[in-house]
């Protein structure tokens, strides 16, 4: 049997005909010249390079900045499929916000025994400094990225939640802009829902969460660690497209109980700070005293209602992969409903029985660090050598609570433009969610990350993956 038959093909049915979302695209593609499309692909790369859309790879000094490969074949999702996904995403994000409020206040979920106490109290991502602090509008996660994978026609799983500072939205926007420039005729043939208004929606959503001391229209700024950060392009891109100021820690100071930014006319108070600086570096007076990236005293201003910080400090506990394994319980506890979108089955290696199972089946599982991201510190068992397995086994046994394990899912495939034409590759999807006190706004589409190596299941750009435009069809 063809190995590809094990994976759900989002492009074609078993009989080889296009699935409904791809019908019009396939009709267009069949009349296209492959040489022209490959020329367009090279043009896209030139455009990205000229625009400066790069990312940094930590630990690789010889290649500090890389271009994320972009594939010109869109990933297409039907309106029906998207409607189901948005219901599940909204349910999940509401539960995450309720969970964060609870664990920093009455901790009812711990009292009920639904989550082990030590999973919170011994977790580095839990900030005791946030206990009793209610952010403006009770919104903790203003921007959320929910990573989804697909294994069948109606089978979607949440791979992980990104509740701290989810990145990648600038690539979603630039991917669409590039496709609009290169293939305008496609967008006249196929009705695709808009994503380009995301910066406007982001500003509106952030402005809906002003602190109590705001007077007039809220002033919004983006806090970046600086030009050497891997996502600096995105920070400057979003600030520019939102019409917000891009600031670094040394641009800010506490004045009269407010956070104020330096301008050519003196210091001006900020109401909402979209921070892309990790908790530990946010305030050297409260967290890491050696930090030069944050603002001394910002946590005191925050606690007194002088500023909104998006996302709120302490939201990283909802990113934790051990907490992730309890998300079905968390959703049920706060919503009274079963989870619409399922988790991937997960073994918590801190549990002795789970650890024994993982060690016995290491060559069949994917093992991740509890606080890991970007594909770093991860083992893909089926693709690992004996030496890699032995090395990882030692790390697991040394600190089992630092890891979770999951089965190797049969990720769906979508087509990329390869030498031979269309060729299937594995993908995931990160939709972006904006949360304000009275609304959850989910951008129709998101960032599709694609494993460009044939047979690879690792889609992270830091591990050789690429991106593609994501189309949600309109009526």
pTM to 2 decimals? 0.92
Q: What is the pLDDT, as a whole number, of residue 372?
A: 64
Task: Give me the residue label for tokens 């402005």.
Answer: 207
| End-to-end CA, the chain | 38
Whether 277 is covered by a domain: the verdict is yes
368, 392, 408: which is the final residue of a domain? 408
Give the DSSP H/E element, type plus range, for residue 37. Answer: helix 34-51
Give the whole-angstrom CA distance, residue 202 versus residue 434: 7
What would the DSSP string read from start to end of 174-201?
Answer: HHHHHHHHH-HHHHHHS-B---TTHHHH
Whether 60 is covered by a domain: the verdict is yes
Q: Domain with 378 in it: what CATH number?
A: 3.30.1490.270
Q: What is the pLDDT, as a whole number, of residue 193?
A: 97
Please give the structure tokens belonging to residue 304: 């007194």
335-344 as b/e, with b when 16 or more CB fall inside 10 Å?
A: eeeebbbebb
Q: Domain with 252 in it: what CATH number?
A: 3.40.50.11290
Q: What is the pLDDT, as a whole number, of residue 373?
A: 59
- 458 pLDDT above the threshold of 90: no
Q: How many CB atoms lie within 10 A of CB 380?
A: 17
Q: Over the stretch 388-401, which tens digit does the pLDDT of each residue have?
A: 999 999 999 999 98
Q: Over the stretch 227-248, which tens digit does the pLDDT of each residue have?
A: 988 889 899 999 999 999 999 9
Q: What is the pLDDT, as a whole number, of residue 53?
A: 64
Pair 190, 242 in one domain: no
Q: Residue 460 — pLDDT band, cuts 50, 70, 90?
A: confident
Q: Residue 179 — pLDDT band, cuts 50, 70, 90?
A: very high
Whether 315 is covered by a domain: the verdict is no
Pair 131, 257 in one domain: no
Pair 287, 225 in one domain: yes
Whether 454 is covered by a domain: the verdict is yes
Q: What is the pLDDT, as a whole number, of residue 364?
A: 92
Pair 301, 336 in one domain: no
Domain count, the chain: 3
Whether 205 is covered by a domain: the verdict is no
359, 377, 408: which is the final residue of a domain? 408
CB 260 within 8 A of CB 272: no
Task: Return the CA Rg of the chain.
Answer: 23
Comparing 76-80, 145-149, 401-405, the range with the smallest average pLDDT is 401-405
Pair 254, 367 in one domain: no
Range of the domain at 388: 345-408
Q: Over the stretch 58-79, which tens digit does the pLDDT of each residue have?
A: 444 444 556 788 999 999 999 9
Whether 443 is covered by a domain: the verdict is yes
Nearest alpha carbon to residue 370 among 330, 409, 332, 326: 326
408, 428, 443: which is the final residue of a domain? 408
From residue 367, how far is each of 266, 357, 443 by CA, in Å? 51, 12, 30
Q: Over the stretch 415-429, which tens digit does the pLDDT of each residue have?
A: 999 988 899 999 999
Pair 293, 354 in one domain: no
Pair 298, 431 in one domain: no
Across 163-187, average pLDDT:
93
Pair 13, 156 in one domain: yes
Across 337-361, average pLDDT:
94
Q: What is the pLDDT, as a whole number, of residue 63?
A: 45
Q: What is the pLDDT, as a whole number, of residue 52?
A: 65
Across 217-222, average pLDDT:
97
- 149 pLDDT above the threshold of 90: yes
Q: Over the stretch 317-326, which tens digit does the pLDDT of each residue have?
A: 998 888 999 9
Give the whole-angstrom CA distance, residue 217 versus residue 328: 39
Pair 286, 250 in one domain: yes
Give residues with Cβ within 8 angstroms of 445, minimum separation 6: 77, 172, 176, 193, 195, 431, 469, 470, 471, 472
* DSSP strand pairing (347-348 vs 432-436): unpaired
Task: Give me the residue label for tokens 């074609």.
Answer: 12
Across 277-300, average pLDDT:
96
Q: Over the stretch 107-143, which tens digit does the pLDDT of each residue have?
A: 999 999 999 999 999 888 999 999 999 999 999 999 9
Whether 311 is covered by a domain: the verdict is no
Comparing 106-115, 254-263, 344-353, the range with the smallest average pLDDT is 344-353
Mean pLDDT of the chain: 91
Q: What is the pLDDT, as a whole number, of residue 303?
A: 96
Q: How many residues does the chain have?
A: 475
Pair 352, 441 in one domain: no
Pair 394, 443 in one domain: no
Whether 424 is covered by a domain: the verdict is yes
> To 5 degrees, how large is the angle CA 461–CA 288–CA 165?
30
Pair 146, 127 in one domain: yes
């Amino acid at each position: 049997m063809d190995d590809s038959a094990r994976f759900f093909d989002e492009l074609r049915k078993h009989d080889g005909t296009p699935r409904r979302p791809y019908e019009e695209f396939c009709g267009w593609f069949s009349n296209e010249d492959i040489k022209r499309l490959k020329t367009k692909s090279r043009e896209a790369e030139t455009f990205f390079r000229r625009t400066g859309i790069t990312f940094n790879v930590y630990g690789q000094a010889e290649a500090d900045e890389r271009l994320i490969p972009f594939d010109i074949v869109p990933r297409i999702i039907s309106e029906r499929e998207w409607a189901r996904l948005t219901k599940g995403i909204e349910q999940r994000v509401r539960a995450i916000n309720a969970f964060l409020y609870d664990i920093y206040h009455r901790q009812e979920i711990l009292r009920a025994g639904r989550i082990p106490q030590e999973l919170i109290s011994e977790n580095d991502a839990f900030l005791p400094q946030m206990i009793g602090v209610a952010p403006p509008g009770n919104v903790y996660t203003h921007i959320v990225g929910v990573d989804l994978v697909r294994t069948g026609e109606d089978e979607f799983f949440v791979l992980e939640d990104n509740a701290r500072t989810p990145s990648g939205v600038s690539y979603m926007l630039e991917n669409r802009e590039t496709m609009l420039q290169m293939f305008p005729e496609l967008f006249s043939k196929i009705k695709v829902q808009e994503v380009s208004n995301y910066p406007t929606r982001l500003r509106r959503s952030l402005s809906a969460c002003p602190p109590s001391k705001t007077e007039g229209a809220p002033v919004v700024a983006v806090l970046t660690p600086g030009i050497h950060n891997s996502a600096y392009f995105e920070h400057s891109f979003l600030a520019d497209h939102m019409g917000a100021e891009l600031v670094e820690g040394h641009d800010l100071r506490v004045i009269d109980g407010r956070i104020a930014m330096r301008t050519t006319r003196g210091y001006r108070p900020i109401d909402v700070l979209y921070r892309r600086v990790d908790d530990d570096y946010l305030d050297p007076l409260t967290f890491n005293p050696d930090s030069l990236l944050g603002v001394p005293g910002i946590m005191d201003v925050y606690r007194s209602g002088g500023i909104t910080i998006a996302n709120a400090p302490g939201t990283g506990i909802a990113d934790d992969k051990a907490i992730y394994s309890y998300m079905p319980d968390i959703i049920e506890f706060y919503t009274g409903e079963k989870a619409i979108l399922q988790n991937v089955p997960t073994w918590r290696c801190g549990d002795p029985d789970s650890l024994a199972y993982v060690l016995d089946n290491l060559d069949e599982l994917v093992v991740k660090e509890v606080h890991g991201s970007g594909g770093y510190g991860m083992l893909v068992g089926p693709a690992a050598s004996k030496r890699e397995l032995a090395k990882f086994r030692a790390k697991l046994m040394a600190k089992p609570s630092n890891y979770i394990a999951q089965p190797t899912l049969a990720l769906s495939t979508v087509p990329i433009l390869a030498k031979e034409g269309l060729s299937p590759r594995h993908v995931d999807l990160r939709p972006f969610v904006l949360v304000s006190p009275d609304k959850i706004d989910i951008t129709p589409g998101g960032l599709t990350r694609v494993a460009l190596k044939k047979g690879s299941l690792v889609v992270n750009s830091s591990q050789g993956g690429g991106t593609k435009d994501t189309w949600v069809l309109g009526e």
